[in-house]
Chains A and B, each alone.
Chain A
Amino acid sequence: MSSKWSAGVRYLFLMLCALAVLYPILFAFSNAFMTPEESQAYPPAMFPSRLYLRNFADVLGLVPIGRFLLNSLVVSAVIMAGQLVTASLAAYAFAFVPFRGKNAVFFLFLSTMMIPWEVTIIPNYLTVKSWGWMDSYAGLTIPFLASTFGIFLLRQFFLQMPKELIEAARMDGCGHLRVFAIIVLPLARPALATLGVYVFLNAWNQYLWPLLITNTDTKRTVQIGISMLKWEEFISYGLLLAGVSLVLLPSLLLLALGLKQLVRGITAGAVKG
């Protein structure tokens, strides 16, 4: 009886938390479907009375969101793939290869995570400009193909792996590249999925860099599209939130897929032996 009660209380608590966490997103999506009168009504309406699609049509007319979505997709996918390769290699070295100067190099890398973006953004802007990478996918992606964050995340996951397994493989004469590819990477799938989803979403959400290095609509990303809306002199909540909803929708879908991937990777890693 008491366990039933505690389960009930737990679910109630979780539901209240979920409601609080989801509310701002529900607010955005439901207001996107409201007429200007509805979104200004008092007391405020929680849900639209009907599916009013005018906001979406108006937003699509204001800015070429389809093109922006494609650009963001390409840029985010390239950055994700690149970081998974560079970070897993480096994390393996830090976790399992006893090389000279490891601690010093690790702290050097770690310190790069603390370099605030304002320190690097002006010189990087000048570099990319001098190489003729303005308004190009190269300029949008190549500066972000390695990150200490990813290295650190994977290193921590690697260190939680059973050491005996890696040592045994090494004793059997497996080279580092084989251990990396055959043992560590498959075991690290949940961590790689976590990192992949995270890097993709972060790239998707980048703001200042694409703003600086893109000048034309053909290479602009979706976050800049949203900011272009904000500079318009207006407007109803509905129109702005329709734009926000369009930008959020692909990442919400990715998260639905990515979480599943995450769980599948974890189950595969959990079947030991």
Chain B
Amino acid sequence: MDSAQSLQSAHAGHTAHAAGALRASRTLRSLRSIKRRDNFTGYLFLLPCFAFFGVFLFYPLAKSVYLSFQITNPRGEVAAYAGLDNYASLFASGAAFLATLKATVLFTLYTVPAGIVIALVLAVMTHAKRPAMKAFQYAFSLPVVISAGTGAAIWILLFHPSAGMLNYFLGLLHLKPVFWLADPKWALVSVSMMTVWMNLGFNYIVLLGGLRGISDDIYDSLKLDGPGPFRSAFGVLIPLLSPTLFFLLIVSVIGAFQTFGQIHILTKGGPMDSTNVMVYRIYQEAFVNFRFGSGSAQALVLFAVILALTLAQFFWLEKKVHYQ
């Protein structure tokens, strides 16, 4: 009897064990199928982007890499294999290459921090529901409609040394006129001023959107605790806004490294190469001198620089970004 009972209980235990194992394997299988379905869904959602990027970004990129090892004729056809010559001559030019790098870095330093800080101050001051704020929001968003073409057309008239309004205003303040675009010391600053103005609308709109995304409870609690407008802005809002700020920083640095239109129209890289940024040099190489191979090589070097900068920002700064 005893043994039969124990046998039975052992059997029962065995069945229970088997059932448990079965259940476990079923959950495992359903987990696996969820995972598989997630993998499928993820890539399905990405499919349209993959298609467009494949044809209009990755393929041309690969083709540019190919071209960078070739010498091309002015019609863009490959004439001879160049090996690393295009790259070697770029770095062999030493001082000229360093000058364009310096102009690019300075331009980024003049435009990115100023552009973000000004937009942040204006967005923090105008995001609340107060009288007249809608008018200010429209005013500060307005430069977003300006293109490099229209913006430069307006500013080239403002910058004019004798008839321009900027020097007229300086004259009213009894200051000496500045040769905005003709003075090598000023040209990059002038182009940067115009660029900060042109980018302000975009920066402002993105930050306003970010501020609006913060929940009302937080604004209410700020009002109750009343730490004062500046402490509340910097102690509470900035950490909450950090994903938006991080996004803006990355996009602005990339944009600054790729600026072309206003430089093409306002200074053409001069005077004395003071505004000859990397992109402008590439443009001249490819579309003025028709050296597509060497132009491609320079474009790829620029790409590598921007890529390294962006990765650096991700590794050092994203830890400080506060995601909810």
A residues touching B (Cβ–Cβ < 8 Å)?
A: 10-11, 13-14, 17-18, 21-22, 24-25, 27-28, 31, 40, 42-44, 85-87, 89-90, 92-93, 97-100, 102, 105, 109-124, 126-127, 142-143, 145-146, 148-149, 151-153, 156-157, 159-163, 176-177, 180, 190-191, 194, 197-198, 201, 204-205, 207-208, 223, 226-227, 230, 237, 240-241, 244, 247-248, 251-252, 254-256, 259, 262-263, 266, 269-270, 272
Contacts and interface: CB of A to CB of B under 8 A. Distances in A.
17 contacts: A21-B200, A89-B45, A97-B42, A98-B42, A99-B42, A116-B302, A119-B300, A121-B60, A122-B76, A156-B247, A160-B323, A197-B144, A205-B146, A240-B157, A241-B157, A254-B145, A259-B141
A270 B295 CA distance: 49
Given A114-B310, A149-B251, A93 B154 contact: no
A171 to B, nearest CB: 12
B63 A123 contact: yes
A117 B139 contact: no
Contacts of A269: 213
B292 to A, nearest CB: 6
Q: What 3 A-B pairs are tightest by C-beta distance, nearest first?
A: A99-B42, A205-B147, A123-B60
Contact of B202 (A10, A112, A163, A198): A198
Given A119-B300, A152-B250, A156-B244, 10 more contacts: A27-B157, A93-B45, A116-B279, A117-B258, A119-B299, A120-B56, A160-B324, A197-B144, A255-B141, A262-B209
Nearest to B283: A118
Given A97-B42, A119-B303, A14 B148 contact: no
A24 B197 contact: yes
Nearest to B122: A17
A11 B132 contact: yes
Given A114-B303, A160-B243, A201-B145, A109 B155 contact: no
Interface in B185-229: 197, 200, 202, 205-206, 209, 212-213, 215-216
A100 B35 CA distance: 9
Contacts of B232: none
B49 A151 contact: yes
A102 B45 CA distance: 12
B209 A85 contact: no
B209 A100 contact: no
Given A21-B143, A118-B286, A198-B202, A92 B45 contact: yes
Contacts of A159: 243, 323-324
A118 B279 contact: yes
Contacts of A240: 153, 157
Contacts of A18: 135-136, 139-140
Interface of B: 35, 38-43, 45-46, 48-49, 51-53, 55-61, 63-64, 67, 76, 122, 125-126, 132, 134-151, 153-155, 157-158, 163, 165, 168, 197, 200, 202, 205-206, 209, 212-213, 215-216, 243-244, 246-247, 250-251, 254, 257-258, 260-261, 279, 282-283, 286, 292, 295-296, 299-300, 302-303, 306-307, 310, 323-324
Nearest to B139: A18
Contacts of A142: 52, 56
B205 A194 contact: yes
A218 to B, nearest CB: 21
B49 A146 contact: yes
A153 B213 CA distance: 13
Contacts of B76: 122, 126
Contacts of A116: 257-258, 279, 282, 299, 302-303, 306
